[in-house]
Amino acid sequence: MIVAIIAVLLVVCGVALYRSMSVNRSATEDAPQSEQAAHDALRRVKVKPSLADDQGGILISKNGYGSRIDDVPTVGMYLEPLCPGCALVSRTLDPTIKSMLDAGQINLDLHFMTFQDYKSSDEYSTRAFNAAVTIAQQDPNPDHLLGYLMNIYAQDFQPGELGEYRSVTDDRLKQQALDAGVDKATVDKAFDGQTGTGHG
């Protein structure tokens, strides 16, 4: 049963991400052209979140950050704040993923991406996910990070793209984090204008 659910999760996530990324190919012509080149570029980054692994992922299990449970599958999720496909996956599958995570049936490997920043007028993706990284670094409860991610993907919150984008203030993003249970000091640090990677 778990294997079947994981397979469905991977297919849905893959299709959603592919559809979103295929629209953006012309805007990323100068990006690394192979998986190996991308990994090499990632390894050259000097300042990284302390929780990130060598692939840039942040691992979560029922035991918290960075504590992989043996003998269960690891589900990798590649997320972008403006991506409609990512939001659809979140709204559809997050309750199931959270339930399986809490039961110790999966590990979750989160990868934060900002390839749609150009579709906003104010670097929305970068601001939203710098905050996510800071929350992960400063708040030991992964439920708060997962709650924040669900909140920014909520249908009544996630902004549109390009001509449909309406500026989202830091205060509105802060509220999504507060509503997820993140304490105010961490929320303020998440939006202090720093990159998030240096916190920890």
Specify the pLDDT at position 31.
43
Residues 57-81: tens digit of each pLDDT? 899 999 999 999 999 999 999 999 9
pTM above 0.85, yes or no: no
The rounded distance, in Å, linking the Cα atoms of 33 and 163 is: 29
pLDDT above 70: residue 22? no
Band of residue 126 on the pLDDT scale cut at 50, 70, 90: very high
Q: For residues 161 and 82, is the Cβ–Cβ distance under 8 A?
A: yes
Q: Which of 48-52, 132-136, 141-145, 156-160 has the lowest mean pLDDT?
A: 48-52
The rounded distance, in Å, linking the Cα atoms of 134 and 137 is: 5
Specify the pLDDT at position 27.
44
Q: For residues 133 and 196, is the Cβ–Cβ distance under 8 A?
A: yes
Q: For residues 143 and 65, is the Cβ–Cβ distance under 8 A?
A: no
Length of the chain: 200
Specify the pLDDT at position 11.
53
Q: For residues 195 and 47, is the Cβ–Cβ distance under 8 A?
A: yes
Q: What is the dihedral of CA 137, 139, 140, 146, to 10 degrees?
A: -90
Specify the pLDDT at position 34.
58
